[in-house]
Each structure stands twice: as structure tokens, then as C-alpha cells.
Structure 1
Amino acid sequence: MVFNSLDFVVFVIPVFLLYWLLFSKSSVYQNLFLLLVSLFFYAWADWRFLILLLVSIGVNFYLGLRIYRTPEDRKKSIFLYLGLIFNIGLLLYFKYFNFFYEGFYEILNVFGVESSYTSLVILLPLGISFFTFQTLGYLIDVYNEEIEPSKNLIEFSVFVTFFPKILSGPIERAAKFIPQIQEKRQLSYQTTVDGLRQILWGLFAKIVVAENCAAIVNPIFGNYENESGSVLLVGTFFYAIQLYADFSGYSNMAIGVSKLFGIQLMRNFSTPFFSTNISDFWRKWHISLTTWMMDYVFTPLSFTLRRHQKKGLIFSIIATFILVGFWHGANWTFVVYGLLHGIYFVPLVYSGKMNSSEIVAKGKLFPSIKEVLKMILLFVLVMLTDVFFRVDNVAMGFDYLGRIFSFSIAEFPSIVLTSASIITLALIGIFVLVEWSNREKDHDFEISNYSIYLRWISYISIFVLILLFGKSSETFIYFQF
């Protein structure tokens, strides 16, 4: 039941009405209703793993309480380790078992031990990467005494299962989410309208920008051996935009839907392509994952290796980003993707600019030439690295990149003159223009300060573009994670 489907519209409208008309008397009623609705939503997506989700909730709720109530550090650590083993074990089995299983036999073959294997058919539970990271962070925060554990099973269950984020995030923190649902939510006109506005923009990003890009990208990547380097370069450009529009579109819709129920989810994308260095890019790209990895992987690792100074810092960054890449899927392509992004940080470490971050052209209408050049250079770097996000294997990724940087890159890519490309470029232009104008605001379509006439012109214009150029899609790239 994806957000851009008729099924979801039929689902969310009565849920919204019932939530505010019948269940708004107290937070208890609201939370119980949200829990039942969220479990139904997850079961609709894949009922076979509903029991697994419930077991995960029960185990993590219990362990959180035991960690908090155990005074001895050694025993407290035991419960934390049990939680780490349980949650990471779920991920390793359902998402990565075949990857390591096949890799083991491939290593045996390299050393001359002839062996054969058959991959196991293991279904991947939807949202497992997101809800296990949420519960992992929860247990670690309780252990570090940064939060107290939830003593209310219903509230904790809503934290894990809340339907706008259960399938594809954002990866919420208990410290921010649970306090919101401990109080009764009040229906707010401003928040509801802002949520609808964000949903509209997410729909535009997904079914207009991302899907029109996909119509160009898919044939190019599917037949890349027979395309010129210039066409392949065009393909990487459209894929980078598709990836961002798909990711940010889903996140905006998830955050917007959540606002309808009086709950604020964290921002997950903040116009990352207006960054001037890779560090700033990752502060704005998949923010919930990046901050999770920084807090629970990079920080403790860099602290452990602090005596090695810059070398220890570089190792911590690269290791963290390899995990960031590997989190996305059980394929060496994602490992290479993460490794490359980690390597891109090395010049920043040695220049001492890793922590520098600022909004480009803050308070100005246009960026400087220097800022434009930096943004273009960074975009090209990220764009080329995104190839490993799209291809089936590492060899194909390097082959694709190698073909880009061949003599045929000098050929004119006639594909850019097709009507599909011209229309898509125009739609991307609108997308970029709106995001640029809102780069200093809370989200990409935050136009509450416009006059009512300009607001309605904006709504109608986006809606018309969706009707004219929207393409149906029953999935998000995000869902594979």
C-alpha cells in the first residue's frame, strides 16, 4: 500500500476521520487506535511477518526495562548484548545470510576447494532495516542513560510500528518520538495543511520527477553496452535525480502523513544537492540514517581510535560509510558505494574542513560562481558514484563508468533532444527551482508565508503537473532497503 496509490487514499481518509472524531479524547485512545491501524497497514503489506514484528516489539520492550532496572554494569551489559545479538541477528539472517553464505563458498573455490551451494529462499520482511535500527538505537540510549525506557507497551509499540514510517523510515529516535505520543494530540489546522502541502510535494517528486527520469534511465542502463559514453553520462544524471526524487518524495509523504495525526517525524532530506562538500552532503542526505551511523558507529569508533589522530579518524569514517552502503543491501555494489563516499572525506580531514557546514547563498537569491562550481563538482562526483546503486554487480559498475570515459563521450547525446528528455529536464528545472527557494525552510515546499493567492496558484500548478506528467508506480526504490 504505497502512498501514491488509491488503496492508501481509501485507507488514510477514514483513519484520519476516526482518529480525530472518535479517538481524540485521550492519548491512550489515540495510541491504541494508531497501533491497531499500523498493524493492519503492515499486515496489508506482508502479513507473513506480522508475528516477527510483534516478537521484536516484545523482546526490545522487555530488554529496555531490564537494562534500566539492573544496577550492576556487568549484568546491564549482558542485556544490551542480548539486544544487539537479537536485532543484528534478525538483519543478518533475513537480509544478509545468502550474501555471506555464497561468499563463503566462493572463497573456498578461490583456494581450490571445489564446492557447490544452493542459495536459500529467504523472504525479506518489509521495513526490517528501519525498525531494527530504531530498536537498536533505543536499547543503546537506555543503556547509556540518555533516555528512560518506555514503561507503556502500547506507546513503545506505536514507536516501532507507526504506519507512515514502518516500511521505509525515517529512522526515528525514541527520545523525540515517544514524548509526542505521551500527550494527547490536538487537531491543528496549520499542521494539517502543512502536512497536505508536504504530501503534495512528495507526490510531485515521486510520480512526476522520479518516474519520468526512470523512463529515460531504465533503457540506458538496460542496454548500456550499446550506448555511447555521452548517453551513459546522461543516464547517470537522470538516475541521480531519480534516486533523490524517489527518496525525498517518499520521506516528504511519510512526514506529511504523520503531521495529519499530530506527530512530527524528523526531516530526512534537506536539499543535499545544494551542498559544496561531501560532509555537508551527508548532513542533508538520508539524515536519519547518517545521524544514526554517526552516533552509534562513528562516534564510539573514532573515540576508540583517537590516539591515531587523523589516521584513526579516516579509518572510522571509511568504516562507517562502508556500513552505510552495506545497510542498503546485500551486494558488493553497496559496499563500493559506501567505500567511495568514505574516501571522499579524506581531503576534508586533512584540510580541517570536515565539520564546516553552511547553507549555500544564505539570505541571497543567487549563489556565487565559486559556490556553483563546488555544487556542480560535488554533484558530478555523487552522480557517478550512484552508478553502483543502480547496477547488478561491481564489474558492471566499473564497466559502465569505463564506457563513459571513452572516446565516445565526445559524441553528442541525441537522447537529450527527444521530447521525453526535454519535458523531463523542464520538470527537473521546476523541482530544483522550488527546492532552491525553500532551502532555508523546514521542508522543500514550505510556502506558508506566501499570500493566499500565491499558495493556491502553487497548489494548482503542482496538481496540474501531476495530472499531466505523472506516471503510475507501485513501488519506491526505498522499499528494497
Structure 2
Amino acid sequence: MIFNSFDFVVFLIPVLVLYWLFFKKTAVAQNILLLMASIFFYAWADWRFLFLLIASILINYYLGLKIHNTLKESKQKMLLNIGLVFNIGLLVYFKYFNFFYEGFYKIINVFGTDLEYNTLSILLPLGISFFTFQTLGYLLDVYNEEIEPSNDLLDFSVFIAFFPKILSGPIERAGSFIPQIKKKRELSYATSVDGFRQILWGLFTKVVVAENCAAIANPIFNNYQDKPGSVLVLGAFFYAIQIYADFSGYSNMAIGISKLFGLQLTRNFATPFFSTNISGFWKKWHISLTTWMMDYVFTPLSFTLRKLQKRGLVISIVATFILVGFWHGANWTFIVFGLLHGIYFIPLVYSGTMNTSDIMAKGKWFPSFKEIYKMMALFVLVMMTDVIFRVDSVAMALDYFKGVFSSSIIEYPASYINANTLMIVALIGFFMLVEWVNREKKHDFEISNYNVYLRWSSYIFIFLLILFFGRSSDTFIYFQF
């Protein structure tokens, strides 16, 4: 039941009507409905793992209370370690077991043992990477006395299972989300309209931009061996736009849907392609994951290695981004993807420019030539690194790059220069123009300050683009993570 499906509309409308007409009197009533809706939504996606989700909620709720109420520091640490083992253990078993299992046997067979092995058929629970990181962050925040633990199981359950974010984030922090659901929400016209506006933009981003890019990128990647370098570059370009539009579109819809219930989720994307260095890019790309990794991995690691000065900083960054890559899946491609992004930070560390990542051309309509050059160079770097993210193996990535950096890169891609491709490029251009205009605002389609005629003209125009150029899709890329 994805956001751009008819099934989801049929699900969402009754929940909204019940929420604002019959469950609006108290926060408890609102939260009961949200929890019931969230359980139904998750069970619809895959009922087999509903009990795993419930078990995760109950165990982490209990551990949070015990950590807070225990006076002995040694026992607090023991309870935290139990929580870390439980939550990380879930991820390792369901997501990474076969990766380590296969790797173990390959290492043994290097010594000539030639042992046979079969990987296990382990299904990946939907959303496990997202809700597990929420529970991990919650326990760490309670242990570090950053927040008080939730003493209400209903509130905590909604925090973990809230249906707009359960499958693909954003990864919420208890300190910002739980206080919202403790209070009764009031229906706000301005917030609801802004929510619908963000849903509309997310829907356009997904079904028009992402899916049209996929229509070109997927066939190229699926048959890259017989394509000239110029076509492979096109494939990399359209995939880079596809994955951004797909995930940012989902995030905008998730945030917009949450606003309809009077709840604010974390912004997950902030026009990352308008960055001039890799640090600025990651401050604006998958923000909830990046900040989680910075707070819980990079910060303690860099503190531990502070005596090594810049070398310690480099080690901390590279290690953090290897984990960022590995978070996406059990494949060496993701590890290499993360490793490269960590390496891209090294020049910034030694030049002292890692934190210089302000909004490009702030307060201006046009960037400088220097900013344009840096932005385009960064885009190409990210685009080519995304190839590793897209393919199934490192060997395939190397083969793809071999094709790109061949003499055929200057070959004219005649079969791809047609009206359909030009139409998609025009849609991408419109998409980027709107993001550029709104790059300093709260979200990519924040046009509340425009006059009523311009606003409605924008809504109608985007609706028509969806109607005429939208493509059907039954999944989001990040559901697999």
C-alpha cells in the first residue's frame, strides 16, 4: 500500500475523517486511532513481521524505563548493552546474516577446504532499518540523559509505528516526536493545506520525475554491456535524478501526510544537488540518517580519536560513511559506496573547509560561475558514485566504468536523443527550477506566500503534469532498505 496507490487513498481518507471528527477530543483517543491505523498499515504491507514490530516496541519501551529508573551505572550500562545487542541483532540476522555467513565460508575456502554451503532464505522485514535506528537512538538518548523515557506505552508505540514513516523514514528522534503526540492536536487549515501541497509535490516528484527517469535508466543498467560510453553516462545521469526524486518524493509525501494529522516529521532532503562540496551534500541528503550517524557514530568516535587530530577526524568520517553505506544493504557495493563518500571528505578536512556549506547564492536569484562549477563537479562525482550503488556487484561497477571511460564516450547517442528524452529533460529542468526557487524555504514546494491565483495555477499545472506524464509504480527504491 504505497502512497501513490488507490489503496492508500481508500485507507487514508477514513482514518482522517475518524481522527478529526470522532477521535479529536483527547490526545489518547487520537493516539489510539493512529496506532490502530499504523498496525493495519504495517500488517497490510507484510503481516508476517507484525509480531516482530510489536516485540521491538515492548522490549525497547521496557528497557528505556529500566535504564532511567536504575541508579547503579553498571546496571544501566548492562541494560543499554542488552538493548544494543537486541536491536543490532535484529538487523544483523534479518539483513546481514547471509552476507557474513557467505563471507565466512569464502575465507575458509581460500585455504583449500572447499566446503559447500547454502545461504538461508531469510525475508527482510519492511522498515526494519528505520524503526530499529529509532529504537537504538531512543535507548542511547535515555542512557545519556538527553531525554526522559516515555512512561506511556501508547505514546511510545505511536512513535515507533506511525504509518507515514514506518517503511522508509524519516528516522525520527523521540525528543522531537513524542512531545507532539502527548498533546491533543488541533485541526489547522494552514498546516493541512501545506501538507496537501507537500503531498502534491512529492507525488509529482515520484510518478513524473523518478518514474520517467527510471524508464531510461533501468534498460541501460540492465543491458550496459552492449552500450557505448555516452549512453552509460546518460544512464548514470538519469539514475542519479531517479533515486533522488524517488526518495525525496516519498519523504515529502510522508511529511505532508503527517501534517494532515497535526504532526511534523523531520525534513529529509533540502535540495542537496545545490551544494558545492560533499559536506554540504550530506547535510542535505537523507538528513535523518546523516544526523543519526553523526550523533551516534561520528561524534563518539571522533572524541575517542581526538588525540590523532586530523587523522582521527578522517578515520572517524570514513568509518561513519562505511556504516552509512552498509546500512543500505548487505553488499560490497554499498560498502564501497560509503567508503568513497568518506574519502571525498579528506580534502575538506585538511583544507579546513568541511563546515563551509551554506545555501548556494543565498538571497540571490543566480549563483556565481564559481558556484556553478563546484555544483556541477560535485553532481558528476555523486552521479558516478551512484553507479556503484545501483549495480549488483563491484565487478559490474568496474565494468560499467570501463565502458564509460572508453573511446565510445564521444559517440553520439542517437537512439536516445528523441522527443521522449527531451521531454524528460524538460521535466527534470522544471523540477530543479522549483527546488532552486524554494531552496531557502521549509520545503521544496513552500509557496504559501504567493498570491492565491499563482498558487492555484501552480497546483493545476502540477496536477496536469501528473495526469499526462505520470507513470504507475508499485514500489519505492528505499523500501528495500
| TM-score normalised by the chain length of structure 2 | 0.99
> Which residue matches 1:69?
69
Correspondence list, 1:209-224, <5 A: 209-224=209-224
> Which residue matches 1:172?
172
> Which residue matches 2:266?
266
Q: Secondary structure at the match of 1:141?
A: helix
> Which residue matches 1:342?
342
CA distance in 2 between partners of 1:177 and 1:415 (Å): 50
1:111 deviates by 2.0
Q: Secondary structure at the match of 1:184?
A: coil
CA distance in 1 between partners of 2:420 and 2:398 (Å): 28
Correspondence list, 1:40-439, <5 A: 40-439=40-439
CA distance in 1 between partners of 2:246 and 2:116 (Å): 39
1:416 deviates by 3.9
1:279 deviates by 0.2
Amino acid corresponding to residue 36 of structure 2 in structure 1: L
CA distance in 2 between partners of 1:450 and 1:268 (Å): 24
1:468 deviates by 0.3
CA distance in 2 between partners of 1:387 and 1:190 (Å): 41
1:323 deviates by 0.2
Confirm or deny: 8 A CA contact 1:63 1:80 kept in the other structure: yes
Q: Secondary structure at the match of 1:163?
A: coil
Confirm or deny: 8 A CA contact 1:415 1:421 kept in the other structure: no
Amino acid corresponding to residue 60 of structure 1 in structure 2: N
- Stretches of 4+ aligned residues off by more than 2 angstroms: none
1:57 deviates by 0.3
1:112 deviates by 1.6
2:29 is equivalent to residue 24 of structure 1? no
CA distance in 1 between partners of 2:407 and 2:426 (Å): 29
**CA 1:266–1:415 in structure 2 vs 1: closer, same or farther (change >3 Å)?**
farther
CA distance in 2 between partners of 1:111 and 1:391 (Å): 30
> Which residue matches 1:8?
8
1:389 deviates by 1.2
2:15 is equivalent to residue 35 of structure 1? no
Amino acid corresponding to residue 442 of structure 2 in structure 1: D
Q: Cα deviation per residue 1:94-146 (whole Å; 9 max; x = unaligned)? A: 00000000111111122222111111000110000000000000000000000
CA distance in 2 between partners of 1:413 and 1:301 (Å): 47
CA distance in 2 between partners of 1:219 and 1:154 (Å): 47
1:376 deviates by 0.1
1:419 deviates by 2.1
CA distance in 1 between partners of 2:420 and 2:115 (Å): 49
Confirm or deny: 8 A CA contact 1:268 1:288 kept in the other structure: yes
Confirm or deny: 8 A CA contact 1:31 1:181 kept in the other structure: yes
Q: Cα deviation per residue 1:259-292 (whole Å; 9 max; x = unaligned)? A: 0000000000000000000000000000000000
Confirm or deny: 8 A CA contact 1:416 1:422 kept in the other structure: no
Q: Cα deviation per residue 1:362-409 (whole Å; 9 max; x = unaligned)? A: 010010000000000000000000001110101001110121011111
Q: Secondary structure at the match of 1:268?
A: coil
Q: Secondary structure at the match of 1:12?
A: helix
Amino acid corresponding to residue 176 of structure 1 in structure 2: S
1:415 deviates by 3.9
> Which residue matches 1:456?
456
Q: Secondary structure at the match of 1:123?
A: coil
Q: Secondary structure at the match of 2:282?
A: helix
Amino acid corresponding to residue 55 of structure 2 in structure 1: V
Confirm or deny: 8 A CA contact 1:250 1:476 kept in the other structure: yes
